[in-house]
Chains A and B, each alone.
Chain A
Amino acid sequence: MRSHEISSSQIADVVNRHHRLPDRLLQILIELQEPSGWLPPATLTALADALGVSRAHVEGVAGFYSFLHTEPVGRYRLLFSDNIIEHQLGSRELMAALCSKLWVEPHKPSEDGLVSVSTTSCIGMGDQGPAMLANGRPVLRLSHQRINQIAELVRQQVPVSEWPEAFFHVDNNIHRRDAMLQLDLAPGAALQAALALGRAEWMRQMQLSNLRGRGGAGFTTAVKWMACADAPGADKVVVCNADEGEPGTFKDRVLLTTLADAVFEGMTLAAWAVGARQGLLYLRGEYRYLRPTLEAVLARRRSAGLLGRQILGKAGFDFDIEIHLGAGAYVCGEETALLESLEGKRGTPRIRPPFPVTRGYLGRPTVVNNVETLAKTCLIALEGGAAFAATGTAQSTGTKLLSISGDCARPGIYEYPFGVAIERVLEDCGASDTQAVQVGGAAGIMLASYEFHRRIAFEDVPTAGAFMVFDSSRDLFEVARNFVAFFAHESCGFCTPCRVGTSLLLKAMNKLADGHGAKTDLADIEWIDRLLKNASHCGLGSAAPNPVMDTLLKFRPAYERRLRSLDFAPAFNLDDALAAARRASGRDDAAAHFSADHAPR
């Protein structure tokens, strides 16, 4: 592994390119890891010296992000998306097949250092899975045939960049368009319109639109912008949250692919409203493949006078946008964790108040908006706030992009005015025999068939956009268990209830899955749910029990039929606990087993 060491001049190059700024630490780590796939201890030490920060801090940041490795990994890193929809499409079987073809154990690099096969949280390709990341690049529509090809390419050591293009082809799968997806924006047109209105009138149009945040929380955008505009401090910041990590969501990926100009123009419109000069787009590591095209769009906008100094000739309107990469941490979708990550730190959510609008990125007043929210501001600039508010419901104006995946004929992107009923969406996407729909991803809400009359809207069923369909053949306990595993994996570990509670919850769910559960475990699960909900530091922890609470309420038999005892069952498998002693002593007589332990009660 010595050959993979990163030379001090390489480190100096990267650090200098980032102006020796400690708040670029995450971006620097991502770049330094590029050549060898991991960050050797000596690299962390040298980097800490070069940046003038402590090595412990560097190690702390490097250890936080799933896509940064402080131990050797394979030269080919193949990560299967661990989304439940993809499980249902056979991703685990495909992963097992790939492991056996490559003679590797999952989650462990091969001895020759050639390849490691593992899983990663949902990569935002739920409509075209099963999918994997091959050295960071998404490979779609995996089948046994494709897995065979991949195994062969790895064995022959063909670089990922030379794999067949078809592997990497990402479909947009847009099946229903409304105002947003019908927009054919001439770059600068929305900005032109807003500038013509003047700053105060532009803000008034935003108020009239009653646009609310599309990231799930539904905070009124104009209120956020005004608070930032009014906050003391001249060096304001606009941040676009493109850390679309909610399992089952992929609409921001499609917006960034098809309407990047609208997203950047929305950021510029926000900058005009609040008086910001700096813009940052935080792109989740899984969407890194989009970066070159996004950079090209930014370059085009700069040369067209839509970014940079004196935008559209307006004196004093200076604004530019830079892209920062994430590195595999769902919690960074939480806006204050995202700010920490933008500052190059561990993605730990901050204490609020203060809110980002007064103290955000590097302590400066900051607007953080979702990709879809920002893109929608272009519609408001072009057609006015009242026109925007004319669609949707009174409390949820405009349209919403849904990312539909799972048991339906046509998964993909659907745009509806707010207020659309679940049953209408199911009909349109070709779902039949639907048992349940998970709206809003793992953190969202699971609806049973008797609730399909409910509507997508902040006042009824709010969502960041995920819409996962489960037909009657699906086991909803397994769905909840997958989500619990997701939260346990993604917990930042800052607060006690989430750090310990998500893992305890996963233990309890695994115990039930293994057929060792008892009624007392259900009581424990409900108690842990309550602690997570009440005591967690941020939305990740308080949402973590949602899938379990919903399924326990609406699909309780999925749990009950797994119980071995109506009373109590041991926390661990007693017979397995004797296995090591049996091996060491060579015993295998009846007394060397807890045979009764396997008998159903």
Chain B
Amino acid sequence: MSTAARTRVRLATTSLAGCFGCHMSFLDIDEHLFELVELVEFDRSPLTNIKHCSPCDIGLIEGGVCNAENVHVLREFRAQCKTLVAIGACAINGGLPAQRNHIPLEACLREVYQSRAGLGASGVPNDPELPLLLDKVRPIHEVVRVDYSIPGCPPSGEAIWKFLSDLIAGRTPRLSHPMLHFD
């Protein structure tokens, strides 16, 4: 490993119960991508093919926590990343997936697997390959300690870039009008 590579900030990203919209927005930083690759090295991320997180400086989490697998991934990120960042509405308050929270989980599952035509009333699958759902979709700060948040659905590429460049430069990241928005 070259000296230059070692001084770069190691960054991991993932999407839990999200839509990858925040990742798309991340790519929308356009020409800043060239600056970014000078500053960071990607670890586990949909942008790489790395399956598990190594020790990192920054972890970006998109999406809320809706199932057991989300919990495991989130815990891995927390254990490996010095700084953990919630990115987007779902990571911050559960977002659209959390709008199932007022419906009892059993009713949700029954509706999908038993009442729906086309699934052959097969019943709720009993398959260890499928992660079990949590009774409610939770924001990530209710499962692990979170250091920063970037709101938005998704946050703009501009906001993500402002945040990351602040963080990497050692400034406390601040987002204000009009970069700070929740929709």
Do chains A and B make direct contact within the complex (CB under 8 angstroms)? yes
A424 to B110, CA, bound (A): 66
**Contacts A567-B145, A568-B145, A587-B132: A581 and B125 contacting too (C-beta < 8 A)?**
no
A151 to B94, CA, bound (A): 47
Cβ 8 A contact of B132, one of A568, A570, A578: A578
Stretch touching chain A among B56-64, B101-109, B150-158: B101-109
Stretch touching chain B among A256-264, A406-414, A588-596: A588-596
Instruction: Tell me the B43-101 residues at the A interface (CB within 8 Å).
Output: 68, 71
A571 to B93, CA, bound (A): 13
A141 to B71, CA, bound (A): 50
A574 at the interface (CB under 8 A from B): yes
Binding site for A on B (CB under 8 A): 68, 71, 104-106, 109-110, 124-126, 128, 132-136, 138, 141-145
Cβ 8 A contact of A581, one of B133, B138, B141, B143: B133
Measured between beta carbons, the chain B residues less than 8 angstroms from A591 are 68, 128, 132
Known contacts A577-B135, A577-B138, A578-B68; can you find 19 more A-B pairs with CB under 8 A?
A568-B144, A568-B145, A571-B141, A572-B138, A572-B142, A577-B134, A577-B136, A578-B132, A580-B133, A581-B105, A581-B134, A583-B106, A584-B124, A585-B125, A587-B126, A591-B68, A591-B132, A592-B128, A592-B132
Residue of B nearest to A589 (CB): B128
* Cross-chain contact B142 with A580 (CB below 8 angstroms): no
**Contacts A568-B144, A587-B132: A594 and B124 contacting too (C-beta < 8 A)?**
no
User: Can you list 13 A-B pairs with a CB-CB distance of less than 8 A?
Assistant: A568-B145, A572-B142, A577-B134, A577-B136, A579-B135, A580-B106, A581-B134, A581-B135, A582-B132, A585-B126, A589-B128, A591-B128, A594-B71
CB distance from B148 to the nearest CB of A (A): 15
A586 at the interface (CB under 8 A from B): yes
Cβ 8 A contact of A586, one of B110, B126, B138, B142: B126
Measured between beta carbons, the chain B residues less than 8 angstroms from A568 are 144-145
Cβ 8 A contact of B134, one of A571, A578, A583, A585: A578
Interchain residue pairs A-B with the least CB separation, the first 3:
A571-B142, A581-B132, A568-B145
**What is the interface of chain A mostly: helix, strand, loop, or mixed?**
helix
Residue from B109, B128, B132 whose CB has the most chain A CB atoms within 10 Å: B132
Measured between beta carbons, the chain A residues less than 8 angstroms from B132 are 578, 581-582, 585, 587, 591-592
A520 at the interface (CB under 8 A from B): yes
A584 to B105, CA, bound (A): 9
Cβ 8 A contact of B143, one of A570, A583, A584, A585: A570
Per-position contact with B for A468-485: 1 when CB-CB < 8 Å, else 0? 000000000000000000
CB distance from B123 to the nearest CB of A (A): 9
Measured between beta carbons, the chain B residues less than 8 angstroms from A589 are 128
Measured between beta carbons, the chain A residues less than 8 angstroms from B128 are 587, 589, 591-592
* Cross-chain contact B124 with A570 (CB below 8 angstroms): no
* Cross-chain contact B145 with A520 (CB below 8 angstroms): yes
Number of inter-chain CB pairs below 8 Å: 63
Residue from A585, A586, A594 whose CB has the most chain B CB atoms within 10 Å: A585
Measured between beta carbons, the chain B residues less than 8 angstroms from A582 are 132
A579 to B141, CA, bound (A): 21
A589 to B127, CA, bound (A): 10
Measured between beta carbons, the chain A residues less than 8 angstroms from B68 are 578, 591-592, 594
Residue of A nearest to B69 (CB): A591
A577 to B70, CA, bound (A): 13
Residue from B110, B134, B138, B142 whose CB has the most chain A CB atoms within 10 Å: B134
Residue of A nearest to B144 (CB): A568
A559 to B87, CA, bound (A): 33
Measured between beta carbons, the chain B residues less than 8 angstroms from A585 are 109, 124-126, 132
Residue of B nearest to A574 (CB): B71
Measured between beta carbons, the chain B residues less than 8 angstroms from A567 are 145
Measured between beta carbons, the chain A residues less than 8 angstroms from B106 are 580, 583-584
Measured between beta carbons, the chain A residues less than 8 angstroms from B110 are 584
A393 to B49, CA, bound (A): 79
Measured between beta carbons, the chain B residues less than 8 angstroms from A577 are 134-136, 138
CB distance from B106 to the nearest CB of A (A): 5
Cβ 8 A contact of B105, one of A570, A571, A580, A594: A580
Residue of B nearest to A577 (CB): B134
Measured between beta carbons, the chain A residues less than 8 angstroms from B133 are 578, 580-581
CB distance from A563 to the nearest CB of B (A): 15
A587 to B145, CA, bound (A): 29
CB distance from A569 to the nearest CB of B (A): 10
Measured between beta carbons, the chain A residues less than 8 angstroms from B136 are 577
Measured between beta carbons, the chain B residues less than 8 angstroms from A580 are 104-106, 133, 135
Residue of A nearest to B139 (CB): A571
Measured between beta carbons, the chain B residues less than 8 angstroms from A574 are 71, 134, 143
A247 to B70, CA, bound (A): 45
CB distance from B103 to the nearest CB of A (A): 11
A574 to B69, CA, bound (A): 12
Residue of B nearest to A590 (CB): B128
A589 to B126, CA, bound (A): 10
Measured between beta carbons, the chain A residues less than 8 angstroms from B126 are 585-587
A520 to B68, CA, bound (A): 23
CB distance from B145 to the nearest CB of A (A): 4
Instruction: Tell me the A377-400 residues at the B interface (CB within 8 Å).
Output: none
Measured between beta carbons, the chain A residues less than 8 angstroms from B143 are 570-571, 574
A136 to B138, CA, bound (A): 42
CB distance from B136 to the nearest CB of A (A): 7
Measured between beta carbons, the chain A residues less than 8 angstroms from B104 are 580
A213 to B171, CA, bound (A): 55
Cβ 8 A contact of A570, one of B109, B125, B135, B142: B142
Instruction: Tell me the A354-370 residues at the B interface (CB within 8 Å).
Output: none
Measured between beta carbons, the chain A residues less than 8 angstroms from B71 are 574, 594
A366 to B119, CA, bound (A): 71
A585 to B129, CA, bound (A): 12
CB distance from A476 to the nearest CB of B (A): 28
A474 to B110, CA, bound (A): 48
Measured between beta carbons, the chain A residues less than 8 angstroms from B145 are 520, 567-568
Measured between beta carbons, the chain B residues less than 8 angstroms from A520 are 145
A592 to B141, CA, bound (A): 22
CB distance from B117 to the nearest CB of A (A): 20
Residue from A580, A582, A584, A591 whose CB has the most chain B CB atoms within 10 Å: A584
Measured between beta carbons, the chain A residues less than 8 angstroms from B134 are 574, 577-578, 581
Measured between beta carbons, the chain A residues less than 8 angstroms from B105 are 580-581, 584
